[in-house]
Amino acid sequence: MFDRKKFQESIERILKLEFCKILEKAESYEKYYAVSKALIENIVDRWNETEELYKKGKQAYYLSAEFLMGRALGNNLINLGIYEEVKKALDEMNIDINLIEEIEEDAGLGNGGLGRLAACFMDSCATMNLPVTGYGIRYSHGIFKQKFVDGFQVEEGDNWLKYGDPWSVRRSEDTVIVEFSDGAVKAVPYDTPIIGYDTKNINKLRLWKAEPIKDFDFKLFNEQEYDEAVKEKNRAEDISRVLYPNDSKNEGKILRLKQQYFFVSASLKDLIKKHKEKFGKNFEIFSDYHAIQLNDTHPVVAIPELMRIFIDEEGLSWEKAWEITKNTFSYTNHTILAEALEQWWSGFYKEILPRIYEIIKEIDKRFVIQLKEKGYSNNKINSMRIIADDMIKMAHLAIHGTHTTNGVAKLHTEILKHQELKDWYELYPERFQNKTNGITPRRWLKLCNKELSEMITELLGTDNWIKDLSILKELEKYLDDEKVLNRFLEIKKKKKEELADYIYANEGICIDPNSIFDIQIKRLHEYKRQLLNAFHILDLYYRLKENPKMDILPRTFIFGAKAAPGYFRAKGIIKFINEIAKLINNDSEIDGKIKVVFVQNYRVSYAEKLFPAADISEQISTAGKEASGTGNMKFMLNGTPTLGTYDGANVEIVKEAGEENNFIFGARVEEIEKIKETYDPIEYYEKVSGLKRVVDTLIDGTFDDDKTGMFEELYNSLLKGASWHRPDNYFLFRDFDDYREAHKMVDKAYRDRLGWAKKCLKNIANAGKFSSDRTIEEYAKEIWNIKAIRDS
């Protein structure tokens, strides 16, 4: 029961304790902090009770280098079911809830879909009362804050902790020591409550902060060696300072390796400690009580680390340790790209983690014996080895050292089984599963699109859909109801107006809410083909210049993406798109028919405004390259048709909602497999109308890359290739004309407003499969073997 008066008193008390201020004198961020702390105070008993409750049975642990949580306040109020009550309490105190929600920094501890998926999974586990704990790193700075200077991406530190973190609790009593060959560091846990929707249970995300064993050398300081006096402190804190530090040099690579080992070693020591407190040294039953999910290859070093703990510290035999380890771990593969299947030069392991390297070497040795006994040829064995050509293949170690490997969309899993990991599937067919990704409807509909949520609840006569998204299927009975369709269109218009206001306030660009909002928001990578989108926009612009009376509906193209700091080509694509935006947005002759916006510092809180406002969801990756995608699901849930390739979860979206309610184009996986060896992009470049013209703008002086060579390098990658790939490696030229035709179909379909609304509602009604609740239920039953535990 929410006690309004007690809550208000807590806020005033916390303001005095933390900031020595009365309410009237407090800054917005101080009010945000106090409100959040007051909510923690309100739930702490339930949090502790849940922890005790979960100790009774088997638990699962989700190890991930990323947790892209986003803002906590609004989402937690929604899940606690007290948003309106808190709003009223704050209104009485003259606190604007919208203002303090906006002041909260995004907890940007992730780079993209992998980290946001982990966050959605945490929400679903808590909502479904599943005993699951997340483990990761408490980076003091997130991926980076992005701004554009003359169209170039510039990275700045993302100090998300500048106002403190009211949602985490330091648990010094659970500190552990993590050892490297060049020294040891303390791993100090910070626990964040994961509040599920409509449940008393509260789960936990435990993030580790690296601290020095000795943070200050007084003797050196006294000798005025000031830098040396804090050297150990700085080197230790570097480990948890920044998510994915640039690894273009060996120092960066070593730091990344230390990050990976740091959080898995700390997490495993935490689990071993708790196991021994309950069961002593009875490790025979370890996997009966602990299931560990490795989210991609970043935490795969956990496999040899658990072996080390069992053998070196607990005295188990190799055979027994291996059996327990294998039965404890499962692995999620998130990529089809060969270059993204993580591998490490063995020299780094020998230097930093020599004992871990010895264990991996022994795993590899025994694996080779196993394959020889099965009659594998030397060539086949060499292609499957865990250590080959002095490189440690982390995906190979992951599959061999776990009981289950899963893909994240049906097409992705099939490609893994029959192409990329075919040999492994033939060796361990029983280990491969599919778990199509999902998203939490709490954040991605109820929180970010309150108007649409209210309409759905009203139409269905229940809000049970928030915990059972399959109920949305009942919306299909309104597909021909003009009143409902028009209401949806009004809601979409309102969200577009809100986004237009937000973009004007943040980017200084005025966009027309009556235009089609065509949005591509995701990590910047060549295979995601933001460049194809850019080429089409430029082609449309040139056609408009040639024929100013061309009949097209006004279109606003919106991009949001960050390029990795060391990814030169991706940064070139950002600069190119910004050059196109400058050209088009300043040309009065086209009468505002097209506009281009690249929003700065794309993040979860920005996404919460973009998804509800979109008319078109751009999901245009090269077929067979996107493992799943979850942005496509967020768009779908908010009533946005997909314009995309037959790739990743697009395949399943189209199956659920119908191809006639989306816009699918381009070569499919089967065609690409047939043509990739003989593909000649020059043929398309020269023959496809308009293509050469837009591609040549990279080198003909139309746009200026400030002599960086970015545009010429992009041009050469398409026409000449590079040492590591063929020309037009992602088939932009092959799909260009198909893509252009798909856009024409969008223009035609959008003119029928009720017909368009019907497509949108059809997508919403069939989004039920893409709930992370469904995904997590499958993990719980089919991989982790855990059951829901409810606080009665």
Known catalytic membership, residue 412: no
Cβ(210)–Cβ(236) below 8 Å? yes
Residue 231 pLDDT: 83
Query: What is the extent of the structural domain holding 626?
Result: 450-770
With respect to residue 178, please indicate whether it lies within any of the assigned structural domains: yes
Distances (CA, A) of 116 to 511, 603, 631: 28, 10, 10
Kindly report, residue by residue over 449-480, the tens digit of the pLDDT: 999 999 999 999 999 999 999 999 999 999 99
H or E segment to which residue 433 belongs = strand 432-434
Kindly report, residue by residue over 210-221, the tens digit of the pLDDT: 999 988 777 877
With respect to residue 1, please indicate whether it lies within any of the assigned structural domains: no
Known catalytic membership, residue 528: yes
In this predicted structure, the answer to whether residue 107 has a pLDDT above a threshold of 90 is: no
Domain containing residue 384: CATH number: 3.40.50.2000
Residue 145 pLDDT: 94
Tokens representing residue 206 in the block: 């435990």
Co-location of 412 and 520 in the same domain: no
Instruction: Enter the pTM of the model.
Output: 0.96
Of 498, 602, 618, the C-alpha closest to 557 is: 618
Q: How does the average pLDDT of the chain come out, rounded?
A: 96
Residue 14 pLDDT: 97
Name the domain count of the chain.
2
Residue 408 pLDDT: 97
Q: Look-up: residue for tokens 């929400």? A: 123
CA atoms within 13 A on the CB side of 560: 25
- φ, ψ for residue 775 (rounded to 5)? -60, -50
Kindly report, residue by residue over 402-445, the tens digit of the pLDDT: 999 999 999 999 999 999 999 999 999 999 999 999 999 999 99
Q: Once rounded to an integer, what is the mean pLDDT over residues 182-209? A: 97
Kindly report, residue by residue over 73-102, the tens digit of the pLDDT: 999 999 999 999 999 999 999 999 999 999
Kindly report, residue by residue over 249-286, the tens digit of the pLDDT: 999 999 999 999 999 999 999 999 999 999 999 999 99
In which band, very low, low, confident or very high, does the pLDDT at 752 lie, cut at 50, 70 and 90?
A: very high
Co-location of 466 and 352 in the same domain: no
Q: Which of 204, 528, 562, 609 is catalytic?
A: 528
Tokens representing residue 548 in the block: 């100013």
Co-location of 456 and 338 in the same domain: no
Q: Which of 206, 443, 595, 634 is catalytic?
A: 634
Known catalytic membership, residue 422: no
With respect to residue 2, please indicate whether it lies within any of the assigned structural domains: no
- φ, ψ for residue 251 (rounded to 5)? -60, -40
In which band, very low, low, confident or very high, does the pLDDT at 248 lie, cut at 50, 70 and 90?
A: confident
Q: Which of 523, 525, 740, 759 is catalytic?
A: 523
Co-location of 624 and 693 in the same domain: yes
In this predicted structure, the answer to whether residue 792 has a pLDDT above a threshold of 60 is: no
What share of the chain in percent tops pLDDT 70?
99
Tokens representing residue 520 in the block: 């591509």
Co-location of 657 and 751 in the same domain: yes
Q: Which of 446, 522, 536, 625 is catalytic?
A: 522
Q: Which of 138, 258, 334, 603 is catalytic?
A: 334
Kindly report, residue by residue over 152-162, the tens digit of the pLDDT: 999 999 999 98
Q: Where are the alpha helices (DSSP H) in 508-548?
A: 530-546
With respect to residue 95, please indicate whether it lies within any of the assigned structural domains: no
Angle, helices 482-507 vs 450-460, to 10°: value is 160
With respect to residue 725, please indicate whether it lies within any of the assigned structural domains: yes
In this predicted structure, the answer to whether residue 507 has a pLDDT above a threshold of 70 is: yes
State how beta strands 663-664 and 642-644 pair: parallel
Known catalytic membership, residue 334: yes
Residue 227 pLDDT: 78
In which band, very low, low, confident or very high, does the pLDDT at 225 lie, cut at 50, 70 and 90?
A: confident
With respect to residue 64, please indicate whether it lies within any of the assigned structural domains: yes
Co-location of 519 and 383 in the same domain: no
Co-location of 433 and 480 in the same domain: no
Contacts of 7 (CB under 8 A, 6+ apart): 38, 42, 86, 89
Known catalytic membership, residue 748: no
In this predicted structure, the answer to whether residue 722 has a pLDDT above a threshold of 70 is: yes
Helix (H, G, I), strand (E, B), or coil: what is residue 590? helix
Co-location of 428 and 537 in the same domain: no
Co-location of 433 and 455 in the same domain: no
Tokens representing residue 163 in the block: 């106002």
Q: Once rounded to an integer, what is the mean pLDDT over residues 2-29? A: 96
Co-location of 361 and 235 in the same domain: yes
CA atoms within 13 A on the CB side of 291: 22
Co-location of 430 and 459 in the same domain: no
Known catalytic membership, residue 400: no
Co-location of 411 and 457 in the same domain: no
Q: Which of 630, 640, 642, 775 is catalytic?
A: 630
What share of the chain in percent tops pLDDT 90?
93
In which band, very low, low, confident or very high, does the pLDDT at 791 lie, cut at 50, 70 and 90?
A: low
Query: What is the spatial distance between Cα 627 and Cα 408, in angstroms, rounded to a whole number?
Result: 6
Tokens representing residue 351 in the block: 């230097």
Cβ(278)–Cβ(55) below 8 Å? yes
In this predicted structure, the answer to whether residue 127 has a pLDDT above a threshold of 90 is: yes
Query: What is the spatial distance between Cα 226 and Cα 229, in angstroms, rounded to a whole number?
Result: 5
State which amino acid sits at residue 299. Answer: P
- φ, ψ for residue 197 (rounded to 5)? -90, 125
With respect to residue 527, please indicate whether it lies within any of the assigned structural domains: yes
If 0-12 CB within 10 Å is exposed, 13-18 middle and 19+ buried, where does residue 547 land? exposed
Kindly report, residue by residue over 540-575, the tens digit of the pLDDT: 999 999 999 999 999 999 999 999 998 999 999 999
Contacts of 669-673 with CB under 8 Å at 24 or more apart are 669/411, 669/415, 669/623, 669/624, 671/623, 672/622, 672/623, 672/624, 672/731, 673/419, 673/624
With respect to residue 419, please indicate whether it lies within any of the assigned structural domains: yes
